[in-house]
Every structure is written in C-alpha cells, then in structure tokens.
Amino acid sequence: MLSKYSDWILRWRYVVVIITLVSAFMLARGGENLVFTNDYRYFFSEDNPQLLEFEALQDTYTKNDNIYIMLDPKDGEVFNRKYLSALKELTEGSWQIPYSIRVDSITNFQHTYAEQDDLIVIDLVDDVDNLSADDLAYIKNVALNEPLLVHRLVSESANAAGVNVTIELPGKNEITEGPEVVSFTRNMIKEFEQEYPELDVYTTGIVMMNNAFPEASISDMKNLIPFAFLAIIIGLYLFLRSISATIAALIVIILSIMMGMGTAGWFGFKLTPPSASAPTMILTLAVADCVHFLTTFLNSMRTGMDKFTAIKESLRVNFNPIFLTSLTTVIGFLSLNFSDVPPFRDLGNITAMGVTYAFILSIFFLPAVVAILPFKVKQRVDKKTKLMQGIAEFVIAKRKTLLWAMGLVIIGFIAVIPRNEINDKFVEYFDESIEFRRHTDYVADKVTGLYSIQFSLESSDSGGISEPQFLNVMDEFVAWTRNQSEVMHVNAVSDTFKRLNKNMHGDDEKLYSLPDNRELAAQYLLLYEMSLPYGLDLNDQINVDKSSTRISTTLKTLSTTEMLAFEEKSRKWLEQNAAGIKAAISSPAVIFSHLAMRNIDSMIVGTLVALVLISIILIFALRSLKLGLISLIPNLAPISVAFGLWGIFVSEIGLALSIVAGMTLGIVVDDTVHFMSKYLRAKREKNLSATEAVRYAFENVGTALLVTTVVLAAGFLVLAMSAFELNSAMGLLTAVTIVIALIIDFLFLPPLLIALEENRNEEDLVPDLASS
C-alpha cells in the first residue's frame, strides 16, 4: 500500500506541488481575519467565578479601568506654582482623552471646609498664578494629611504627583478603542513634555496594561520569528549539508505556519502574547518531520540508491514514526484545552493545526518537492554516523553503570520538585523592554501601585450606608486594612463622612469622626454630593440607592501567594467582624492570582488525559503492552528532571509553566518513538540481538534525533527571548526538557531495553535448565 502511494506521489509530483500550494494559499487567506485583542479579560474564561464577581462590581459602581499619569519633577517638590500649574493643565487636558469619564488629581480634589453654617466645596488648587507662599503651604498641608490623596495622587514626600483618568470604553470595537485612548494619551504627553522639559512623565494603569499585551505580541512576532528562521536555516544546512534539502524543509515550514495561522483566522481566533508564539512553535516542530524524512533520504542516497528509490525508502521507514510523533505532539498541545486560560487554549489549538499540516506536508508535499529539486550526494560514510556508532559502543559497554546512574539522577531530581513554589506577579508578565513594565515599577516606587483589591460592602436596605453601625464596621475594616504591610492606600467613603462631620462642626479636629445619626449622615452626604462638579461624583464609591459602598485598596506589587493570602485574611476579618453585611471581593490582581492555581489543577487533568491517550497509542504502535508501558519512563522522566532543575535554580513556577508538562509530553515522545521503532525494526525484521538492535537504532536514527533536538531546543530558546514572561519561561523550560529527553533516550533508554531483553533471556533459560 505504501509502495503504491510512493509511486503515485513520484508520478504526479508536479500536480501534488500545485495542489498543495493552491490549498495552502487559500487557507492562508484566513490570516487576514486575525486580530490582536487588547483586553486582559480575554485571559479568563467566561465562567471564571472571580471574573463574574469583578464584573458584578463593575456593573454596580463606575468602572475603574484607568490611565494613571505621574509627574516626576527633576528638581524639588510638586508644591510650587510651576509644577502645580503643570499638574492642573494636565488634569484639565486629560478630560479630552477619548472615553474618559472622570479625572482626579490633587488640583481638582474636592476640598471641604466650613464657613459659618455653610459647607464650602472647592478645588484644592484653583487660581495657581495668584497663590501666595501661605496658600502653597496650606495646600501642601491639606494634601499630605488627606488619606484619600497620599499614596494615590501624591507621594508622601511630595516629590511626585499623579493624575488618574477613569476610562469607560463603549465596547463596540475593542480592537480600536483601547489603542485610540493610548495613542491620544501618548501624543498629549509628548506635547506636555515639550512644554515642561523639567518634568518626567510616566504612565501606567489598566488601559496601558491592556495595550501592552498586543505590543508584546507584535514585538515578539517582529523579533523572534525572523531570528528563529535564521537559526533554523543555519542549523538545517549544517546538519543536512544540502542546499536543496534545506530549501525543501523551509518551504514545508513556511507553508505549515501559513496554513495553521490561516485556519486560526478562519475560525475567528484572537491573538494574544501566548497564541502569537504559535508561529515560532509550528516553525520549530515542523522541522522535526522534515529532518527525519530528509536524513533517511540523504543517507540512502549516500549508500548508492538513486533519488526516487531513496524517497520511497525514506517514506517506508519514516511514515509510521512521523505519523505517531505528529499524533502524540498534537495530543500534547490539544491537552491545553483543559487550561482555564483561553490564550493557552488558542496556542494549543493553533499549534496542533500547524503540526497536523506539517505532517501532511511531510508525507505528501515534501517527497514531491524532493523529487523535483536537484540533489548531488556523494557516497560516503557520514561523520555524524561515526559519532553515533561511538555513542552506541559507549552505551552498550557501560549499560549497567548508566542504567543505575541515570536512574538515581532522575530520582534525585524528582525529589527536589517540591522546592518549586507557585508564584506569579502579573505586572512582571512583561519584561523591562516593555514601557508599561518600566513605568509601572517606577510609579509604584514613587507614588502608588497598579495592584489593587476592591471590597464591596452591602447593607440590608436602601440608604443603609448612612447607618452608624454600618459606617463603624466599614471604618474599622478600613483601619485594619491600612495597618496591613501589603497596603499602600485605601479609598473609602468613611473618610469623606469623617471630614464632613468635622466641617459641619466648625472644622473642629476633635470631631473628625463618623456621624452617630443615620439621618444626619445622609444629610451630610446629600449636601456634599449636590456640591460636587460634573464628573467628580461618588458613583465610583457608592451605588445608586446608597445600599452598598466600594472600598478600593491599592497594594504593593505582590506575588500570587501573597495576594491570595491577603484576600483570605481580609475575607476572614469581614466574616468575623461584619455580621449582617454582605461582602464581595475582587480585582484584576485577584483574578490573575486565582487563575494560576485554577490552571494548575485543570492542567493536571489535561496532562493525565494526554498521558493515557499517548500510552494507548504507543502500546498499539509498538505492538507490545510491556514496551508501551516501559516507554512511559523516558517520556515522563524529562519533564520531571526539568522541573527538578527549575526547583534548584529558580524555584518559582507560575501560570505559563503549568502548561509545559502536557505540551512537552507530546514532543519528548517523538525521540522515544523514533528510537524504539528503529530498535524494534532491527529485532523483528533483521532478527538482531538487543545490543545489535541498539547499535542499529543509533546508526539509523541517532543523527536525526540529535538534529531535531538541537533545532527544537534552539527554536524554544528563541521563544525564551520573548518580552512576555509567560512565553519566555515556557520556552526556556520546554527547551531544557527537550535536551534532557535526548540525554535520557541516548543514555537511559538503550540500557533499559538491553536489561529487559537480558532479563527475558534469563527467564527463558529456567525451563530449559529444569528439563535437562
């Protein structure tokens, strides 16, 4: 059957090439539909419980997606006429940012004070040009003693101040709305910096973070894919020593990427930093199929075969192994569908499609192209074959030592896996080459952080937030929160109630306390709200019927573990001290923190499913239950050793690494399948002993395994250079796993196979000795 297929391919080679190219370009047109999403919410499933809780908060209060602009004077503090004038200008200009619904800074902070029986509500900074030294001192004193401002809109040391712009995107076109906001903001800041060169300006916030995702994706695609192609071209030529073979492999790789990404476009996939790394992965994985086919083809020609016979021999030898390795790789990537992170599911599906196309191209298109391209191959013994013969002799001679030594090494690394701790910092998903990361870190050091956690406290009735008991519980919780080491700032309406109570009692500092009467508190709140200008109301803190209030807490940059611990102790405080008050807790940082934990649990299931499927496939493919089960050892050991190494040198794992086990399982199986298929071919077709079969496997597939390992590792190491930490960590650990897999398949698997054969032979001798 395979012989007829080979003859058909060779006979109709030009037709095969034309059909393939037409089909590829038709599929590739789907790439026009691929768009980058710039919404961090795409990282969460629609049924994510933390996301649903967060969206409920967003629906109850004003949305708090924001751009935060920090002014950093190169000399002095912000409380002088020059810098306050600049801050006021920036505050007023920020209202022009598209979709802005609120702008807050110390200049438009609604300062209150009493004037006889009246409550006066004015901007803290009004007529800047006419401010006296006493006015400046008064403004500074108010600002630095106002809990709603310090560590939110001004630094404690007065050496930096910020403007917080609340953005509410319409949601009609998420592809253009966010970038429109960011583009306008950057242009505005550029003009502002030209006018005020003595000020450094930094930007952060949720909208800037959203925009950083596509920026990181585009940066990776521009920088990494060309670099990966260059590495692959150099590697292929050095190993294959044939320009025609290198060209043929490159065509297959390019078509695989085009077809995989095009199909993703037809299915409506959105690109994120993880899924944008799919082309690099497809590029890397497609090489493996090509290398195995071309290595056998070139070796056959070097032994004297003509080109067409060598093509047929390569198809005969490699069709089943390439099919099996492609199938197991696809299963490994499809296991990412168990992930709780949609971008990882997209990555798995796109790469699986690309690998499928690479297989089809390798056994359909590649033989036809090779038949057309000119090949000049000298008959000689390949130096790399001599290298493999040397490795084979070493492994056979030292098989018992290697079996025990490698076994102990594997067990030793497995023992240190528990050193790994689950930890992530979502701001650090971006490396410092991304402006958002640099600016966010600097703003957090100077004034305020990006990390936050929001608490919604709900009373039992309309207007219930004015109830003294409710206010006291809220105030106690705010006080407790401010005393926590993780907290930078707390924004709560209880501080406003205290200030109003003081104002309405002649600004008596002793009465900076909560009203003790519900009606009085409600009247204060009504009077204050009626005095607020447009855009600066309390809808970001209080719901419409005044039955619930939001407390926004800004945190230092916390790891996943620290964030979850803070959420847990906050929840416990509320359960123990806020009886009768319904509390909801959420924020983007909380969702990301839970996501890492949820994803690890789901990917354990996904990896187990992939392992079972791959094991069943190997048992049938190798036609041996024993060998199929034994093959699990060299397939599971690489990722175990890799995580052990990670535990020694890094010791922190996060969202990205939770998918590596399932993803690499399908890849590392490739080496085992190719080695064992050649080993079994030697035993079953050539009746060779175990040691001779090991020699045969090394000589016939060892070079190809070395080449594919170097190429795969190089491809994933390119990914390790990504500006997006999830990609870089994933790429690095995958590359390490692939190299370890080759070492285990060369130094542990052959001694294991020989030991099993020797043990079987000893068992066969027992009945013979008994009967003699």
Predicted confidence at residue 543, as pLDDT, reads 94
Residues 6+ apart with CB under 8 A from 504: 114, 119, 524
DSSP tally for the chain: helices H, then strands E: 28, 14
Predicted confidence at residue 551, as pLDDT, reads 97
| Relative orientation angle of helices 660-686 and 690-697, to the nearest 10 degrees | 120
Tokens of 324: 């099996």
Say whether 416 sits in a helix, a strand or coil: coil
**In the chain, domain spans:** 1-33+241-380, 62-215, 383-415+594-772, 452-586
Q: How far apart are CA 285 and CA 302, in angstroms?
A: 26
The pLDDT tens digits for 288-338 are 889 889 988 998 898 889 999 999 999 998 899 899 989 999 999 999 999
Residue 359 has pLDDT above 70, yes or no: yes
What average pLDDT score do residues 409-420 get? 94
Give the alpha-carbon dihedral of 208, 214, 215, 221, to 10 degrees.
Answer: 170
What average pLDDT score do residues 262-290 get? 92
Q: How far apart are CA 415 and CA 420, in angstroms?
A: 11
pLDDT grade for 766, boundaries at 50, 70 and 90: very low
What average pLDDT score do residues 702-715 get? 88
Nearest Cα to Cα of residue 460 among 561, 583, 373, 550: 583
Give 452-586's CATH code, choosing from 3.30.70, 3.60.70, 2.60.40, 2.60.120: 3.30.70
Chain-centroid distance of CA 718 in Å reads 16
Give 1-33+241-380's CATH code, choosing from 1.10.10.10, 3.40.50.1980, 3.20.20.480, 1.20.1640.10: 1.20.1640.10
Q: How far apart are CA 666 and CA 664, in angstroms?
A: 5
Partners of 166 in the β-ladder: 66, 102
Q: How far apart are CA 457 and CA 439, in angstroms?
A: 33
What average pLDDT score do residues 564-587 get? 94
Residues 6+ apart with CB under 8 A from 130: none
318, 296 contact by CB (below 8 A): yes
Predicted confidence at residue 357, as pLDDT, reads 98
Tokens of 295: 């290595």
| Relative orientation angle of helices 383-397 and 703-719, to the nearest 10 degrees | 100
67, 97 contact by CB (below 8 A): yes
Say whether 97 sits in a helix, a strand or coil: coil
Partners of 487 in the β-ladder: 555
* CA geometry: angle 139, 142, 146, nearest 5 deg: 140
For residue 194, which phi and psi values (nearest 5 degrees)? Answer: -70, -35
Residues 6+ apart with CB under 8 A from 720: 728, 729, 731, 732, 735
Q: How far apart are CA 209 and CA 212, in angstroms?
A: 5
Predicted confidence at residue 765, as pLDDT, reads 40
Token pair 């292929």 in the structure block, residue: 236
* pLDDT > 70 in the chain, percent: 98
Q: How far apart are CA 329 and CA 233, in angstroms?
A: 23
Residue 382 has pLDDT above 80, yes or no: no
Q: How far apart are CA 2 and CA 367, in angstroms?
A: 13
Domain 1-33+241-380 and domain 383-415+594-772, same fold? Reply is yes
Burial class (CB in 10 A: 0-12, 13-18, 19+), 83: buried
What average pLDDT score do residues 589-594 get? 91
Nearest Cα to Cα of residue 363 among 9, 4, 7, 3: 9
H or E element: which one contains 68?
strand 66-73
| Class of the domain covering 383-415+594-772 | mainly alpha
Tokens of 497: 């109630």
Predicted confidence at residue 772, as pLDDT, reads 32
Token pair 């198809």 in the structure block, residue: 315
Q: What is the mean pLDDT of the chain?
A: 91
Partners of 200 in the β-ladder: 72
Q: How far apart are CA 124 and CA 112, in angstroms?
A: 9
For residue 29, which phi and psi values (nearest 5 degrees)? Answer: -60, -25
Say whether 437 sits in a helix, a strand or coil: helix
Residue 613 has pLDDT above 60, yes or no: yes
Question: Which segment, 185-189, 294-298, 430-434, is predicted with the most confidence on average?
Answer: 185-189
The pLDDT tens digits for 526-542 are 999 999 998 999 999 99
Token pair 């799919």 in the structure block, residue: 278
Predicted confidence at residue 769, as pLDDT, reads 31
Residue 764 has pLDDT above 70, yes or no: no
Say whether 87 sits in a helix, a strand or coil: helix
Partners of 66 in the β-ladder: 166
Q: How far apart are CA 112 and CA 506, in angstroms?
A: 11
Q: How far apart are CA 74 and CA 79, in angstroms?
A: 13
The pLDDT tens digits for 53-109 are 999 998 888 888 899 999 999 888 999 999 999 999 999 999 999 999 999 999 999
Task: Provide the 10 A C-beta neighbour count for residue 126.
Answer: 14
Residue 502 has pLDDT above 90, yes or no: yes
693, 602 contact by CB (below 8 A): no
What average pLDDT score do residues 505-520 get? 93
Predicted confidence at residue 670, as pLDDT, reads 86
What average pLDDT score do residues 224-250 get? 89
* Maximum distance among all Cα pairs of the chain, rounded to whole angstroms: 121
pLDDT grade for 771, boundaries at 50, 70 and 90: very low
